[in-house]
A and B are shown apart, each in its own frame.
Chain A
Amino acid sequence: MADLSDEERADLVAYLDGELDEQAAQALEARLGNDPRARAEAETLRRTWELLDYLPRTEASTSFTHRTLERLAVQTSSQPVMLPASRWPGRLLALGWVAAVLLAVAAGLGAANWLWPQQQTPRPERPDVEALVVQNPRVLQFKRLYEHADDLQFLRELDQPDLFGDDVGW
């Protein structure tokens, strides 16, 4: 008998996949019963398909979910500052002035404490926190991102290269 045509081969593959309707399947089975070459082709197609079972089933890395959620948190936290393009220059300038004023205040307080330690003003209700902030202006700079951290331990975990590598990008 003649080799299978492209259409017949497509029916054969569909038959092997259980996708052929009953009438077409019966016709094909009759052909396979009478045609050893068609049977041979069906068998090699079936066995080739089974070879794909040797391909490994990959698992995502253990940190995948965490990294995905962290990336989402960074993206969604950045959305409030995604301003319409037409207002970018003005708002950016305003933000820059605010940041500059805050840094100047922090620097001034630091200098005053260093030069006139005896003249320190009475500490407010939470003096340790304010001193830490003054000594670490990056806290002010990244305050918006820190707001998403539940606790200090989580912030420390962000610094682990094997978890986040270069993804943090700060």
Chain B
Amino acid sequence: MSGETSGQLALRDPDIRLMLRVRDDDPVAFGELVELYQHRLVTVMQHLVGNKEEAEDLAQEVFLRVYRVRKKYRPRAKFSTWLFTIANNLALNALRTRQRRPVVPLNVHDSGPLGPRPAEQLVRDRAGQPGERIQQQELATIIQRALEGLNERQRVAVILNKFEDMNYAEIAEVMNLTTKAVKSLLSRARENLRQALKEYVYMDGEPVPVEPDEA
């Protein structure tokens, strides 16, 4: 991608060197790799599939797949880009084949006092102690639902951009798209999120600026 040789990439990226040790059947290297990437991978998977147990299963499958193809590994980009390419493929397969279930709020019960409240209630609460009244768990649930309202590719692009700090070129490589396509994908995704979360964006009491007319 950048014109660098594999050796040059390996020099700059310690994770590539680690993966090369896995490739060469270094007995402890694979365990080190799992330790290094487990939390990031599980985080991404959980935001994609909405369920921690399934996220861990998928993350585990990613690592096992990495091990199975280790002999074919040739560093052509950052190691994390290659890893998340595998993760993306597995996650999209899982999302397309599994039966979708209603989202279960994170440690929140819909019908209880800590359940997600209607937007109107949350807006009224702004008058008292804006932002503080909304428990972070409630907001996280609302935001997670908005994220799950995106289509699969939009969701992947957003999560890679937000949680893995990937730039458009890296996301394009992971998702096998052009950079221009990623730009368009993220634009639509963020507009969809803006529409879904517009009632919560100014919960901190900041004056709402002039908004474009609704279409």
A56 B106 Cβ-Cβ under 8 A:
yes
For B63, the chain A residues whose CB sits under 8 A away are 68, 72
Prevailing SS type, chain B contact patch = helix
- Of the four ranges (under 10, 10 to 19, 20 to 34, 35 or more), the interface on chain B belongs to 35 or more
Q: Which of B183-215 contact A (CB under 8 A)?
A: 183-184, 186-188, 190-191, 193-194, 197-198, 200-202, 209-213
For A9, the chain B residues whose CB sits under 8 A away are 187, 191
Q: Which of B62-80 contact A (CB under 8 A)?
A: 63-64, 67
- Is the CB of B136 closer than 8 A to any CB of chain A? yes
Q: Which of A1-55 contact B (CB under 8 A)?
A: 3-4, 6, 9-10, 12-14, 17, 19, 36-37, 39-41, 43-45, 47-49, 51-52, 54-55
A43 B43 Cβ-Cβ under 8 A:
no
Could you say which of A40, A49, A65, A72 contacts B212, with CB atoms under 8 Å apart? A40
For B39, the chain A residues whose CB sits under 8 A away are 57-60
The complex places the Cα of A64 from the Cα of B158 at a distance, in Å, of 26
- Is the CB of B140 closer than 8 A to any CB of chain A? yes
- Is the CB of B162 closer than 8 A to any CB of chain A? yes
Prevailing SS type, chain A contact patch = helix
Which residues of A are in contact with B by a Cβ distance under 8 Å?
Answer: 3-4, 6, 9-10, 12-14, 17, 19, 36-37, 39-41, 43-45, 47-49, 51-52, 54-61, 64-65, 67-69, 71-72, 75
